[in-house]
Chains A and B, each alone.
Chain A
Amino acid sequence: MLGPSVAWYLALAAFLFTVGALGVLLRRNPLIILLSLELMLNAANLTLIAFARQHGSLDGQIFALAVMAVAASEVVVGLGLVVAMARRNVALDTDRLTTLRG
């Protein structure tokens, strides 16, 4: 394979996942948390595709496409919740969403 070996792609995916995880952990706006989740899913997709290339098998790419479909579903439901929150004039701040806290 020309260029960097699979290990470089995996390291890049690790950094991308960490940035996404930091976004989920540090940010309080649910929209940004959803966007950071997308970053983490994309990092997982990059590892899947890198390993698919390494093993010369298309199964990893199939898995990555399934992850995309799941990400689309997750965004539909997540954004539906955000819209419902905005219509009820609830603050878009996960720290203040404590109504359901047990």
Chain B
Amino acid sequence: MTLVIAASASDVLVWIVWAVAGAACLLSAVAVVSFADPFYSALALIGNLASLAVLYLLLSAEFVAAAQVLIYAGAIVVMFLFVIAYIGGRADAPWAGTPSVQTWAAIAAAAAILVEVLVVIGIQAGGGELTTEADISGAFGGPAGIGELFLTDHLLAFEITSIVLLVAAVGGVILGSHARRFDEERER
């Protein structure tokens, strides 16, 4: 009996964590999209990434949650902030004026995607497809399992990822240095 109560209590706790993290995730996403200043948008993205990391932990994806914080919040957002600081804050007035036809079409398209996906999820969940989960061990989602899969089943994806990152780094350098040459030509 006490075991059942304990199980339901932790169930409620997980629901609460999920609701808080989900609400923070959606609110910070809306903040990212609606802030006029990209600097504040990038800061709001950190909140979004942190709440997503909490959701990943609830889904037993410990290593991905850690990588999420390291790669996204630690590298990608910092790079965004560097670039925004470098080119200077250029806040536009995104919500000024009356919404155009394009705006309403964009909202309708996004709403169509949302309804479409939610209907499919509802049908699948109603059919019992999404309500049963596989049993997993405590090691699920840990670095050992992920590392082993990366070096066995997904070795090709792992190697290709390194090449993609190298090409992206070279591309970033080329885009930057080309602009400097352009400036010198213009000054002449």
A-B contact pairs, 24 of them (CB 8 A): A3-B17, A3-B18, A3-B58, A5-B130, A9-B55, A10-B117, A10-B130, A17-B117, A21-B110, A23-B33, A31-B80, A32-B33, A35-B45, A38-B45, A38-B76, A42-B72, A45-B68, A52-B59, A56-B136, A58-B146, A75-B80, A79-B80, A80-B175, A87-B179
Q: Which of B96-133 contact A (CB under 8 A)?
A: 103, 106-107, 109-111, 113-114, 117-118, 121-122, 124-125, 130-133
Number of interface residues of B (CB under 8 A): 93
* B41 in contact with A69 (CB, 8 Å): no
Given A4-B15, A14-B118, CB of A83 within 8 Å of CB of B41: no
Indicate which residue in A65, A72, A82 contacts B75 across the interface (CB closer than 8 Å).
A72
Residues of A within 8 A of B7 (CB): 2
* A12 in contact with B76 (CB, 8 Å): no
Chain B binding surface, main DSSP class? helix
Q: Does A97 contact B (CB under 8 A)?
A: no
Given A6-B133, A7-B131, CB of A35 within 8 Å of CB of B84: no
Indicate which residue in A18, A32, A86, A93 contacts B110 across the interface (CB closer than 8 Å).
A18
* B87 in contact with A66 (CB, 8 Å): no
B residues adjacent to A (C-beta < 8 A): 7, 10-11, 13-15, 17-18, 22, 25-26, 29-30, 32-33, 35, 38, 41-42, 45, 48-49, 52, 55-56, 58-61, 63-64, 67-68, 71-72, 75-76, 79-80, 83-84, 86-88, 90, 92, 94, 103, 106-107, 109-111, 113-114, 117-118, 121-122, 124-125, 130-136, 140-141, 145-146, 149-150, 153-154, 157, 161, 164-165, 167-169, 171-172, 174-176, 178-180, 182-183
